[in-house]
Amino acid sequence: MFNNNNSQNSENGASLIGEGLNVEGDLNCKGSIEVAGIMNGNIIANGLKVLETGSIIGGVKAGRFEVFGFIEGEIYADDIVIGKTATIKGDIFFKDNLKIDEGADVDGYIKRVNQGKSSSSSPKQPPKSQKDKKDKQLEIEDSAKKAVNQS
């Protein structure tokens, strides 16, 4: 009676946040998620699609990410497709591909990132300067504490 002969959906774990559904909290999914409702929280998924009626307030981390609705938060994905009806308020970090349709509203920083690849052309900062930065930060914090304690 409840046997699902469509093995593709059960293998990739496709989930749906329906149009009338409002979710509060973070989601972590090994498969894919389609969002047609409202999501307040961070989403980590292999695949994520935000439909025109969908809205996410929070960060997104996905292998493949398609957006046609509203996103407010940082986006990290390998492949990103931004449709013409999409509105994004936040920074976008992508690894492989980025496609933005004409008419999309993007308000944020867009950067390609290379995870796992070390760049030999950029020398690493010596540990001494890292320590100097930390010492300087501590000095600033100490002086701020003194100023607070004096008043």
Give per-residue pLDDT as tens, 20-72: 999 999 999 999 999 999 999 999 999 999 999 999 999 999 999 999 999 99
The pLDDT tens digits for 69-90 are 999 999 999 999 999 999 999 9
Domains of the chain, by residue range, sit at: 7-117
Is 144's pLDDT higher than 50?
A: no
At residue 137, what is the residue type? Q
Percent of the chain with pLDDT over 90: 64
| Side-chain half-sphere CA neighbours of 31 within 13 A | 11
**Token pair 């760049």 in the structure block, residue:** 119
Q: Compute and round to an integer the Cα radius of gyration of the chain.
A: 21
Q: What is the pTM of this model?
A: 0.68
Largest CA distance in the chain: 75
Q: How many residues does the chain have?
A: 151
